[in-house]
Structure 1
Amino acid sequence: MNNRRGFTRASALGPIADFVEQRGGNINRVFERVDMPVGILETPDLAVPLQEQFRLLRSAGREIADPFLGARLGRLVRIENLSAFGRWVSRGYTLLDAIDRSNRGLNLYLQTGTTLALFQEQGVARWSIEFHDRGYEGRFQNELLGVSYLIDVVRCFAGRGWTPDLIRVTGTGSNQAGALETIFAAPVLAGCQVSSIEFDAALLQAGNASCRPGMVASRRVEQPGEKVPPEHDELEAITALVSVAMLDGYPKIDWVASKMGMTRRTLQRKIGDHGTTFSRLLAEQLRDKASLLLTGEKVSVTDVAFQLGYGDAAHFSRAFSRWTGMSPRAYQRRR
């Protein structure tokens, strides 16, 4: 199994649902094909496995027969919509500051399993994006989407009509380069080791051009959201997958094991090595989600029970009392 298991925010998929539907595809079918809950599109801050994003982009490309879906979808993305991290980056004082924020904060707050790097030579700046999982299907689509986010960061400082002097991609073949040049409206060099964009290094000192009235660029170093699971932390990865599974009802251990690339027995052993069990992890997640749902206005205990995958309110009420020492209704009254 690849130990470099990256995670990303669901928001990194951008407006994929509208994009697919507008081109005659079915977004539910895209998600069913890779066995992922479509509900992740409604929870943009949720951490999902980066490999699953690769699969989703590949599935979406097949759904609408578009080998360059990542690039076309990328024309619609905006860095400020990329969770709290994206808003923090887009408010950099200069482009260099924004790139520095991106490079330092990416693996903490948005996406692991990925490296951003800035190089300067003879007046040319090259900003690259590299994914550690080099062979997985859908990786190329994700690279094209990632390059689009880099371009949008620069546009916060150079204007919305800006295009790179050169885009490097890992795909091969002149036909790929030609098609991508049409989409990106910029020169494309295919067959490179790492995807990147190149531009005049003087642009690094440009001030923020995208600030709306009442919004100012900031020098402050603030925490841009909650952290994503660390790349090498198996228990955090398992916990994050349980959260994803809860979008489709009561999580199943076999589903989590398959997404981790393990057998059920191996998953149980791995969790045991951390001094806990799958049942305990699941109970903690269910307790936290139930507590959050029960704080909503005019929400019934039965509704919460069904959302969490319970067959009836009685089973859920007994479980909630076991977790918290009080019934769901008592918890609601206390809140």
Structure 2
Amino acid sequence: MHQTGYTRASTLGPIAEVVAAAGGSIERVFRRADLPLALLDSPDTLLPLRDHFRLLMMTSRELHDEVFAARLGRQASMAGLGVFGRWVAQAPTLLEAIQRAGTSLPHMLQNATQLVVRRYGNEIHWSYEVSDPARDGRLQNEMLAIWYMIAVVRHFTGAWWLPDRIILGGLPSRLRCQAGELMGTDTAIDNAASAIVFDRRLLRSVNPNLGQDDGLAASELGRIFDLPDPDDLPGRLSVLIELELLDRRPSLAHMAARSGLARRTLQRRLSEAGLSYSDLLRNALQRRAVRLLSQTERSISEIAAMLGYDDPSHFSRAFERWSGVPPTHWRRLLEARAQPDTHPSSS
């Protein structure tokens, strides 16, 4: 398969608002990037890094702005990073937060990337390094990533903090001044990885909100450790199926083309793993059905249509085969569990 890295849709930040404010069309951007617009309402959905890059590139072209992502990143926040952001923000010191970010990024938020800390005298170079081979839109992605790294440090040092300087690998010299103005600090061009540079004494900065959060539940952490390994073909294909399901029910032929494999090759490799494409599609439909039933108030008919069923009764029968109960009953059971226990305790 072509893709080697994945990221969560939440890393796109407030892209729709920024595009609208600049007079662009977010619908046209997503159409040109061949991605479902529903991704904006599904922040935990995974998408291939190369698709993420391409979306940023198409946005840059839509707005005729070569440093668009530097502008977008000004509105980036830890909150936009979901559970990963909360996990990092609960660290007692900035040093621990940076260590948490580095060890958990490939498992929780974005793989085929790493955050690396290097010390040069009294300076810390905290770099964002990408191993995914995709090139188009890569610089936009790195400018956005730098802002998220700044947001991590700001959580410990204050909302207006900026690094002593920023290094942007591969930034054309003609864009240096424009990028530096948007980033708010000296911007250097280098063949090395993109990085932020700051005084090493900041690593001792203490979390100002220490003790104000109850921490993460085990269910939260478990839910987001789901980025597929590069060698896990079924896992990687499942990610692509769930992404496509935001817009349409994908066919085997479409997914083979999307994954860069011949149809028969894809079938053979899945068969070697004891699986079929229909197995993966059914599992993806189950997961999406459960999310829609539990996280939205959409009707059964609406959910059936979103999952590609022509008739709601077909969806209801399929769901009952999966779970043992019809979707209406499953939703009532879920609602009942969510109600507080009003029965008096026995003495």
Normalising by structure 1, we get a TM-score of: 0.90
Work out the CA distance in 2 between the residues paired with 1:147 and 1:331. 44
Q: Do 1:91 and 1:217's aligned partners in 2 also have CA atoms closer than 8 Å?
A: no
| 1:290 positional shift | 2.5
Q: Does 1:248 align with 2:242?
A: no
Q: Does 1:109 align with 2:108?
A: yes
| 1:315 positional shift | 2.7
Work out the CA distance in 2 between the residues paired with 1:49 and 1:251. 16
Unaligned residue ranges in structure 1 (runs of 5+): none
Work out the CA distance in 2 between the residues paired with 1:242 and 1:169. 34
Give the aligned partner of residue 157 of structure 2: 158
Work out the CA distance in 1 between the residues paired with 2:192 and 2:296. 53
Deviations 1:62-87 (A, max 9, x none): 11111111111111000232010011
Work out the CA distance in 1 between the residues paired with 2:215 and 2:227. 27
Give the aligned partner of residue 78 of structure 1: 77
| 1:91 positional shift | 2.2
What pairs up with 1:1-335 in 2 under 5 angstroms? Answer: 2=2, 5-209=4-208, 211=209, 215=212, 223=221, 226-232=224-230, 233-295=232-294, 299-329=298-328, 331-332=330-331
Deviations 1:236-263 (A, max 9, x none): 1111111111111322333333332223
The verdict on how the C-alpha distance between 1:91 and 1:190 changes in structure 2, with shifts beyond 3 A counting, is: same
Unaligned residue ranges in structure 2 (runs of 5+): 335-347
| 1:280 positional shift | 1.3
| 1:297 positional shift | 8.0
Work out the CA distance in 1 between the residues paired with 2:52 and 2:6. 9
Normalising by structure 2, we get a TM-score of: 0.87
The verdict on how the C-alpha distance between 1:136 and 1:273 changes in structure 2, with shifts beyond 3 A counting, is: farther
Work out the CA distance in 1 between the residues paired with 2:333 and 2:179. 58
| 1:296 positional shift | 6.8
Q: Do 1:92 and 1:219's aligned partners in 2 also have CA atoms closer than 8 Å?
A: no
Deviations 1:96-150 (A, max 9, x none): 0110110011011111010110011211101000111244201110011111111
Q: Do 1:109 and 1:225's aligned partners in 2 also have CA atoms closer than 8 Å?
A: no
The verdict on how the C-alpha distance between 1:206 and 1:257 changes in structure 2, with shifts beyond 3 A counting, is: same
Q: Do 2:114 and 2:128's aligned partners in 1 also have CA atoms closer than 8 Å?
A: yes
Q: Do 1:116 and 1:130's aligned partners in 2 also have CA atoms closer than 8 Å?
A: yes
Q: Do 1:163 and 1:186's aligned partners in 2 also have CA atoms closer than 8 Å?
A: yes
Work out the CA distance in 1 between the residues paired with 2:199 and 2:80. 26
Q: Do 1:84 and 1:224's aligned partners in 2 also have CA atoms closer than 8 Å?
A: no
Give the aligned partner of residue 343 of structure 2: none
The verdict on how the C-alpha distance between 1:196 and 1:224 changes in structure 2, with shifts beyond 3 A counting, is: farther
Deviations 1:251-284 (A, max 9, x none): 2333333332223333222322211111111112
| 1:26 positional shift | 0.8
Work out the CA distance in 2 between the residues paired with 1:277 and 1:24. 45
Work out the CA distance in 2 between the residues paired with 1:235 and 1:294. 25
Task: Give 3-state SS (helix, strand or coil) of 1:8's partner.
Answer: strand
| 1:330 positional shift | 5.1
| 1:334 positional shift | 5.5
Q: Which amino acid aligns with 2:184?
A: A
Query: How many residue pairs get matched?
Result: 332
The verdict on how the C-alpha distance between 1:46 and 1:297 changes in structure 2, with shifts beyond 3 A counting, is: closer
Q: Do 2:139 and 2:171's aligned partners in 1 also have CA atoms closer than 8 Å?
A: no
The verdict on how the C-alpha distance between 1:220 and 1:10 changes in structure 2, with shifts beyond 3 A counting, is: closer
Q: Do 2:24 and 2:62's aligned partners in 1 also have CA atoms closer than 8 Å?
A: yes
The verdict on how the C-alpha distance between 1:230 and 1:334 changes in structure 2, with shifts beyond 3 A counting, is: closer
Percent of pairs with identical residues: 38
Work out the CA distance in 2 between the residues paired with 1:177 and 1:80. 29
